[in-house]
Amino acid sequence: MISTPIPNSPLPDQWDEFKNHCRLVSPANRGKYTVLVIGTGLAGASAAATLGELGYNVLVFCLQDTPRRAHSIAAQGGINAAKNYQNDGDSVWRLFYDTIKGGDFRAREANVYRLAQISTQIIDHCVAQGVPFAREYGGLLANRSFGGAQVSRTFYARGQTGQQLLLGAYGALMRQVHRGTVQVFPQRELRDLVLVDGRAQGIIMRNLITGALERYGGHAVILASGGYGNIYYLSTNAKSANASAVWRCHKRGADLANPSFVQIHPTCIPVSGTGQSKLTLMSESLRNDGRIWVAKNPGDSRLPQEIFAQERDYFLERLYPSFGNLVPRDIASRTVKNLCDQGYGVGRSVYLDFQEHLAKNRPEIERKYGNLFTMYERITGENPYETPMRIYPAVHYVMGGLWVDYGLMSTIPGLFVLGEANFSDHGANRLGASALMQGLADGYFIIPYTLGNYLAGIKPQKIDSLSDEFNQAEQQTQAQIAALLSVQGSQTPMNFHRELGLILWDQVGMSRSETGLKDALQKINNLQQDFWQNVRVTGSAQGLNQALEYAGRVADYLELAQVLTWDALARQESCGAHFREEYQTPDGEALRDDERFSHVALWRWGEVPVRSEEPLDYRMVQPSVRNYR
Catalogue the active-site residues. 329
Indicate the residue type of 91.
Answer: S
| Cα separation values, 132 from 82, 156, 158, Å | 19, 9, 9
Parallel, antiparallel or unpaired: strands 389-398 and 262-268: antiparallel
Strand order across the 213-217 sheet: 188-196, 199-207, 213-217
Residue 290, Cα to own-chain centre: how many angstroms?
Answer: 25
Buried b (16+ CB within 10 A) or exposed e, 536-574: bbeeebeeebebbbbbbbbbbbbbbbbbbbbbbbebebb
Contacts of 3 (CB under 8 A, 6+ apart): 405
Q: Which of 517, 421, 508, 546 is nearest to 233 (CA)?
A: 508
Q: Which of 265, 157, 204, 166 is nearest to 38 (CA)?
A: 204
Strand blocks (E) in 197-349: 199-207, 213-217, 220-223, 256-257, 262-268, 291-295, 312-313
Alpha-carbon distance of 262 to 399, in angstroms, equals 6
CB atoms within 10 A of CB 414: 25
* Cα dihedral across residues 1, 98, 325, 76: positive or negative: negative
In contact, 583 and 629? CB cutoff 8 Å = no
